[in-house]
Amino acid sequence: MKITCENERGEQLTLGWFAPLWIRSITGLGASYAISTSKNNGQDGEHYTGAVAEKRNIVIVLDVRKSDYVTQRNLLYNFFQPRSQGTLFYEENSIARKIKYYVESIEPSGDGILKNITLSLICPDPKWYDIHDNLVQLAIWQGNIRFPLRLRDPFAVTKKVNTLIGNVRNDSAVTMGLAVRFTATGTVVNPSLYDVNRHELMKINTTMHAGDKITITTGTGNKRVILISGGITTNINNLMAYPPKWLQAYHGDNLFRYDADSGIDSLSVSILTTQAYWGT
C-alpha cells in the first residue's frame, strides 16, 4: 500500500511501509453510514427511516526514527496547512483512488527509539474517486486531413460527427455527478441534455454564439452552470429551466441525448464523469 498526499501548492508527500515515515496503522478507508430510525410508543424495535454517509475521518499513525524525528515533524507541519484543501491518492495492487481532504490535527507522541506522529484528515465528501476521468463525446469536430494529402475543390478541413445519444456507464453503486460541456460554433438557442432512461430534461435558457462554452457540473456540493464568452466567465445558474434538473449517472447504463431549440448543427457536446466508491 502507498499513500500520496498532494497539497494546494502542488507538493507531494509519499507514505508507506518505508522510511522516513512508516505507516504503522491507517483507519477511515472503508464505508461507514449513519442510520436513522424512529420508535413509536410500545413498539418492539424501531423503524428504519434512512441512512447517510457522513464526512470521512482518515487517521494515519506514522513511525519515525528518534534521530530524524524533529526534521520529519517539521516537514509535516509545513506540508499540511490549515484551511487548505489537499488530495490523498491511495494505491494498492491494481486499485488507485483519490479523495479530497483538510487536515484536522498533527499529534506527536512516544519516547522510544521510534516516535509516533498521528495525522488526522477530514474529508467532507466521503466518496473515493478514480484517478482518471471518463469522457463521452456526443458531437465532435473530426479532422479531414490525411497524408498523403490530396486536395479537392471544395475541401473541408473538418467535419462534424453527431452521435446525438451517448451512454455513460456507471459500474459502481455510487451515483456520479456529470460535467457537461456545450460548445457553440454558431448561434445555438437553449441547449439541453435529456436523460432517456428517467425522462428528465436539463435545459439552459440562453442563446450561445460562436466560441461560447457552457459547463454544467451536477456533483454533490458542486452544482453550477458556467458560461465562458469572449474570455469572460459568468455564473448562469439562474438560466437553468425551472424546475432545475441536475442530471446524474446511476448504476448501469445511462443514455443521454442532447438538443437545442435551434442551431443544433452548431453545437458540440461532451460529458465528463469520474467513477465514485464508498470505500477503497
For residues 118 and 171, state if they share a domain: no
Task: Tell me the CATH number at 252.
Answer: 2.60.120.860
pLDDT of 43 reads 86
Q: Which of 147-151, 228-232, 266-270 has the lowest mean pLDDT?
A: 147-151
Which of 157 and 223 is assigned the larger pLDDT?
Answer: 223
User: For residue 220, what pLDDT band results from cuts at 50, 70 and 90?
Assistant: confident
pLDDT of 148 reads 67
For residues 93 and 154, state if they share a domain: no
For residues 43 and 114, state if they share a domain: yes
Pairing of strands 95-109, 22-27: unpaired
For residues 141 and 239, state if they share a domain: yes
Which of residues 126, 145, 162 is at a domain's end? 126
Confidence (pTM): 0.83
**Cell numbers found for residue 200:** 428528465
For residues 73 and 161, state if they share a domain: no
Overall number of domains in the chain:
2
Q: Which of 11-15, 153-157, 162-166 has the lowest mean pLDDT?
A: 153-157
For residues 65 and 147, state if they share a domain: no
Is residue 102 within 8 Å of 83, Cβ to Cβ?
A: yes
Is pLDDT of 64 > 70?
yes
Tell me the average pLDDT across 227-231: 96
**Cell numbers found for residue 88:** 490523498
Q: Where are the beta strands (DSSP E) in 144-221?
A: 158-162, 165-170, 176-177, 179-184, 188-195, 200-203, 207-208, 213-219
For residues 111 and 7, state if they share a domain: yes
Task: Tell me the CATH number at 109.
Answer: 2.40.30.200
Q: How many CB atoms lie within 10 A of CB 211?
A: 13
For residues 140 and 97, state if they share a domain: no
Which of residues 126, 158, 189 is at a domain's end? 126
Residue 42 sits at φ, ψ, to 5 deg, of 80, 5
pLDDT of 153 reads 64
For residues 145 and 268, state if they share a domain: yes
Is pLDDT of 230 > 60?
yes
Which of residues 98, 126, 154 is at a domain's end? 126
Domain of 38 in residue numbering reads as 2-126
C-alpha distance from residue 97 to each of 4, 36, 90 (Å): 11, 29, 5
Query: What is the DSSP code (8-state) at residue 42?
Result: T
Which of 253 and 156 is assigned the larger pLDDT?
Answer: 253
Give the Cα separation of 72 and 83 in Å (integer): 21
For residues 102 and 183, state if they share a domain: no
Is residue 5 within 8 Å of 91, Cβ to Cβ?
A: no
For residues 84 and 169, state if they share a domain: no
- Sign for the CA dihedral angle at 215, 237, 207, 256 comes to positive
For residues 205 and 109, state if they share a domain: no
